[in-house]
Each structure stands twice: as structure tokens, then as C-alpha cells.
Amino acid sequence: MTVGALALAIGAVGPTAASAAHRTQTHAGASSPSSASSPSGEAMPTGNPTGWKQTFADEFTGPLGEEWSEYWGQPGSDPGGWWDPSHVSVSGGELRLATYVDPLTCIASWGCESIDGYVSGGVQLKEPQTYGKYEVRLRADNGQGVPIVALLWPSDGEWPPEVDFVEDTGASPRATNVATLHYGTLGTASFGQASDSLSVNMSEWHTLGVEWTSGKLAYTIDGRVWATMTGANVPHQPMNLALQSQTWDCGGEWETCPGAATPKEVSYDVDWVAIYTPA
């Protein structure tokens, strides 16, 4: 099972819901910032590319906006992982999802849990949409057993479908990105997944994304399409963008787990996010 699929059982706790259009209004129509001021060296796009209309953009120049909710809790079927809002931060124009050993996690409304294990960060946009172009400018530290993911998750919480356009196994160094579509109905013959992989250094900055239209997913890196998936299994329902890192229990078939070579802290960094709907 892939990393994103285990988001099914999380407890997502975040600020009060707000329209995603609010954050877009702070950027749309503004002059494009200099790439020199961008942590990744590439400015967040503004305006509407051919065939698309920008609906949301965030370059993380202030506190995490109310458009996002933060994860808290243990992923379903994953005793090796935990999420906590304290592992999500914004500074220097970057969103950072930090993974490290944390002895205790607390949230005011739920109390505290003794973890004494690896804890990670995750966020999800509250505003869903059906079809769109998603771009995330990101990188991550090399860290054995700490996979990173960017995905589209069904807004009603009924899994599948799921679209992972950024995902790795937690191998170190990070040399592969995997795109996976989960589809069908769990527990039936229709349930399945389709994946493609790309050799790329994920510890360096790249813009990874997906163009999701009726019956088609086009996975992109740095402005070019590197893989496509087509057919009736492509989702046609509202989905939310989510970004997360996560650790796994040892003994899995697909993913790796932390070990002696894992750094004390592993950071998953996001410079900006831009989202569009078909024009």
C-alpha cells in the first residue's frame, strides 16, 4: 500500500474553515516576484496559463493560512507513524513538514499521547475542487524511512480514489518519484492501482504536479509532462490537495523504515503551491 492511502484514518485538526479564494485574491493580478527572493530560486506563478484559471496560490510568506488544516493522530494501519501540528511550520518563505523522534504530542482539545517515536507533519487544503492543474514547488532532505507525498484525496473521505503525484519509498538518497492512481471499490474486483515512476533527485528543488481533467491525469515535472493515465478510473469527484511526510513500521513490502542512518530531523520543504481549474 502506498503512503497516501493511509491518510484515511487521520484526525485532521486545523483552524476555522475559510474559502480558498481568499488567499488567491492576495496574489492574483500582482506582479510576479523575483526568483531571487524565492527560497527555491523559482518564483510562484501568477495569472492564468492557456487553458487554465488560477483558483489558489500560496507562497508561505506569513503564518499558515486558514485555508489549510493540519494533521494530528496516527495513520490507519500504520503503527510506525504519527502526525502532529507542532511538526508543521512556516518560515523564510517555506512550509516545512519536519520528521523527528518526539516523546510526547499534545493538542488542546484532545489531550496528550506518549509517542517516543517518529512524528511527522501534514497539511490539507480545506477547499476541494473537481478537475484542475496542481503545481507544488518542493524538496526534501535525504532520510531513510521518511517518505514524502503530495496527493489528491476525496473530499467525502471515502477511499479510493486517490491521486499521488509525489511519492517515494523513503529510500536514501531520494532518487525516484512515483505517481499512483488508486481506484475502484475497496474489497471488490474493481479495486486496483496504476503507477509510473521517474528517476529524479528529490532532495533538490523541483516543481511537481498533475493536470487532472475528465478521464485523464497528466503528471508534470518542471513544466513538462512525464507520464499520463487515462480511462474511466480517473476520479470525477471533488478532491482536496494534501501534503505529508510519514514514517512506517519496519517489515513492510514497499516502504522503508527509519534506522541508524536516518538523520535526527528530516525536513520536507515547500516553496509555493499553485492551483487552477480548466478555463
CA–CA gap between residue 64 and residue 89 (Å, rounded): 8
204 is a domain residue: yes
Read off the pLDDT of residues 86-131 as tens digits, 9 standing for 90 and up: 999 999 999 999 999 987 666 655 566 666 689 999 999 999 999 9
Read off the pLDDT of residues 2-30 as tens digits, 9 standing for 90 and up: 444 344 334 443 322 222 333 333 333 33
Supply the range of the domain harboring residue 13: 4-28+52-278
Percentage of the chain lying above the pLDDT 70 cut: 82
CA–CA gap between residue 172 and residue 176 (Å, rounded): 10
3-state helix, strand, coil in the chain (%, to 5): 5, 45, 45
If you average pLDDT over residues 255-277, what whole number do you get? 94
If you average pLDDT over residues 222-239, what whole number do you get? 98
44 is a domain residue: no
pTM beyond 0.85, yes or no? yes
200 is a domain residue: yes
38 is a domain residue: no
What is the number of domains present in the chain?
1
Q: Can you give the CATH number for the domain in which 231 is found? A: 2.60.120.200
139 is a domain residue: yes
Report, in angstroms and rounded to the nearest whole number, the Rg of the chain calculated over CA atoms: 18
- Highest-confidence segment of 24-38, 63-77, 222-236: 222-236
Q: Which residues of 41-53 are buried (b: 16+ CB within 10 A; e: fewer)?
A: eebbbbeeeeebe
Percentage of the chain lying above the pLDDT 90 cut: 72
Nearest to 257 by CA among 269, 249, 266: 249
33 is a domain residue: no
46 is a domain residue: no
102 is a domain residue: yes
Mean pLDDT of the chain: 86
Give the three-class secondary structure for 168. Answer: coil
The answer, yes or no, to whether residue 208 has pLDDT greater than 90, is: yes
